[in-house]
Amino acid sequence: RNSKHRNRKMAGSMELPTKGGFSFDLCRRNAMLEKNGLKMPGFRKTGTTIVGLVFADGVVLGADTRATEGPIVADKNCEKIHFMAPNIYCCGAGTAADTEAVTDMVSSQLQLHRYATSRESRVVTALTLLKTHLFNYQGHVSAALVLGGVDVTGPHLHTVYPHGSTDTLPFATMGSGSLAAMSVFESKYREGLTREEGIALVAEAIRAGIFNDLGSGSNVDVCVITKGNTEYLRNHELPNPRTFVSSKGYSFNKGHTEVLSTKITQLKLKPEVADGDAMEE
């Protein structure tokens, strides 16, 4: 055989795709389509207020419950505080699918790690798994997280940004309502808060986001994590109740609709057998 043929690749053979990360092959096509007038579908974001703070015995996380799709409220009572481990929870802001997927994925990885090591998960483990994943996707996974928990080394609170950077903080806020919530924290936070004071301050910060930011609204969710105990207070406060409820409810009594004419058609009756045997069923 000719050596030239042996060195050349087989016609039609594919290069192996790179492991991990996105493939940007279709970007040129998408840009061309957009130029020709195609409207790309938008993302459902969580336009959010999420907060966390460290108090005397652990961490308190808080979140609002509004999910927005542009100017519309897509979900009035969604859950933004995600389970990572029995002692670690994570609030998520940004694209809802991204926060769900990434917290779900890391939560599973932590569980496998717990089985492998026979130990309680540590917050820094979750932090490293999250930041490595997000950095690999160069900010395209739009998840801004507030990660908090208590492990053998003590209480921890971190923020994780979509590009993969992290901060370790005594109090943190993320999301579109973060400025309103941060103004509450900056003026009222101090170290060594009690559990009640921590919950009250978190609820106040989330309420500031709910009432002053259009992307946040509805209810306040709170999660308190201490050594050996976690309390997920779903809908801890409902500051936006439905004020008008019709006393009549949704009832459509007879007489609501005008009857113009009535025609009654009998259903086909079973024919009576005069003589002979009845048909076998």
Q: Name the region of 279 (left: φ>0; alpha: ψ -120 to 50; beta: rest).
A: beta
Give the span between the Cα atoms of 163 and 134, in whole angstroms: 6
- Active-site annotation holder among 48, 65, 159, 230: 48
Helix or strand (DSSP H, E) at 35: helix 27-35
Instruction: Assess whether 48 carries a catalytic annotation.
Output: yes
By CB under 8 A, is residue 253 in contact with other proteins?
Answer: no
Is there binding between residue 211 and other proteins (CB under 8 A)? yes
Please check whether residue 209 is in contact with residue 67, taking contact to mean a CB–CB distance below 8 angstroms: no
Single residue of 124, 163, 226, 237 touching other proteins by CB under 8 A: 124
Q: Does 86 bind other proteins (CB under 8 A)?
A: no
Residue 111 and residue 126: Cα distance in Å, rounded? 11
Q: Per CB under 8 A, which of residues 93..122 are in contact with other proteins?
A: 122
Q: Please, how many CA atoms are within 13 Å of residue 59, restricted to the half-sphere of its CB? A: 27
60 belongs to the binding site for other proteins (CB under 8 A): no
Selected from 187, 246, 253, 265, the binder of other proteins by CB under 8 A is 187
The answer to whether residue 123 forms part of the interface with other proteins (CB under 8 A) is yes
Neighbouring residues of 88: CB distance < 8 A, sequence distance ≥ 6: 110, 121, 123, 126, 147, 148, 149, 151, 225
For every residue of 90-128, DSSP letters joined together read EEEEEBHHHHHHHHHHHHHHHHHHHHHH-S---HHHHHH
What is the C-alpha separation between 59 and 193, in angstroms, rounded?
10
How far apart (Å, rounded) are the C-alpha atoms in residues 99 and 88?
15
CB of residue 190 to other proteins, shortest distance in Å: 9
Nearer to other proteins, 91 or 182 (CB): 182
202 binds other proteins (CB under 8 A): no
- In the list 79, 170, 200, 237, the residue contacting other proteins (rule: CB under 8 A) is 170
Counting contacts by CB under 8 A, is residue 261 touching other proteins?
A: no
With binding defined as CB under 8 A, does residue 34 bind other proteins? Answer: no
Assess 141 for contact with other proteins (CB under 8 A): no
Q: Does 54 bind other proteins (CB under 8 A)?
A: yes
Diameter over CA atoms, the chain: 97
CB closer to other proteins out of 96 and 182: 182
Residues forming the site for other proteins (CB under 8 A): 54, 122-124, 127-128, 153-154, 156-157, 167-170, 179-180, 182-184, 186-187, 191, 204, 208, 211-212
Which residues are identified as catalytic?
48
